[in-house]
Amino acid sequence: MESLTKDTFDEFLHGSSREAVARFRAEYERTKDVFVLNNLGLALLDVADWQQARDVYATLKGKKEHVSDFELIGLGMAEWFMGHEVEAIQWWREACEADYTDAAGAIDGPLVLWYAGQRLGDEKLVKESLNKLKKFWKVQDYRIFSKWPGTIAIAGFLLGKVPANMFLYEWKWPNLEDRRLCRANFWVGMKHLEDGDETAAAAYFKSAFSGAKIAILEYEYFLAKWEYSLTREPVNP
């Protein structure tokens, strides 16, 4: 998902997302490069320009012959942040059938469905998402994995197959640890929220987005910022 113009992406990671929006927009007009469009979508989400972000992800979806769950989750997030829960869930259900998966063969659509079900108090949606997640957790013992297995790790955690300590602290993702911590902290926060502990949940949400900005490549970064802003203070991009 990184821009072909590395300097522009580095400026994004180390500078203002508001300034990055203008740079990525100008670069996309010049190059029509889908990687730049991806980055523009990230920057727009980070500055809470939901409508523009939705338009970018819709454009991105239309430009790809094979759609990944990333574009569909991005569309759903923009709709969710605008208060359009029904439309968000439709996109996230479509993400469950996405063409692209992670390296281990799992997709993230069921995870965001679980998130939506929890936030809406929709037990049917939670059950639907858990049934989908069961298809990805195919091992008897989580200890078979020596390092973080990506989306499968989150599936196992939400299904109650992986202890929180292993999930958050013991598994590692070599060279991508900042991104793993973003993901893990967000989902641990959601489990605390499920248990009614908003204070603990907020602390994990803040940890999810307040580390290295490279974590912005994970959709959990935006969901964590959103959840934190609901109970604490808005986050300055």
- The pTM of the full predicted model, rounded to 2 decimals, is 0.93
Say how far apart CA 119 and CA 83 lie, in whole Å: 12
* Residue 235, in any domain of the structure: yes
pLDDT at 7: 80
pLDDT at 2: 40
Q: Are residues 148 and 186 in the same domain?
A: no
Listed as ranges, residues in the chain with pLDDT below 70 are: 1-6, 100-105, 232-237
Q: Are residues 146 and 192 in the same domain?
A: no
Q: What is the CA radius of gyration of the chain?
A: 17
Q: Are residues 152 and 108 in the same domain?
A: yes
pLDDT tens-digit readout, 32-56? 999 999 999 999 999 999 999 999 9
Q: Are residues 163 and 187 in the same domain?
A: no
**Beta-bridge partners for 100:** 68
pLDDT at 103: 54
Structure-block tokens of residue 82: 């605008």
**Beta-bridge partners for 68:** 100
Among 167, 186, 217, the domain boundary falls at 167
pLDDT at 68: 82
CB 124 within 8 A of CB 113: no
CB 8 within 8 A of CB 23: yes
Among 134, 152, 167, the domain boundary falls at 167
Structure-block tokens of residue 60: 């991105």
Structure-block tokens of residue 219: 């959709």
Say how far apart CA 8 and CA 13 lie, in whole Å: 9
* Residue 136, in any domain of the structure: yes
pLDDT tens-digit readout, 124-151? 999 999 999 999 898 889 999 999 999 9
Q: How many domains does the chain have?
A: 2
**Helix residue spans in the chain (DSSP H):** 6-14, 17-31, 34-46, 50-63, 69-81, 85-95, 109-120, 123-133, 151-158, 164-165, 177-194, 198-209, 220-231
* Residue 134, in any domain of the structure: yes
* Residue 149, in any domain of the structure: yes
* Residue 53, in any domain of the structure: no
Q: In which domain, by residue range, is 131 found?
A: 104-167
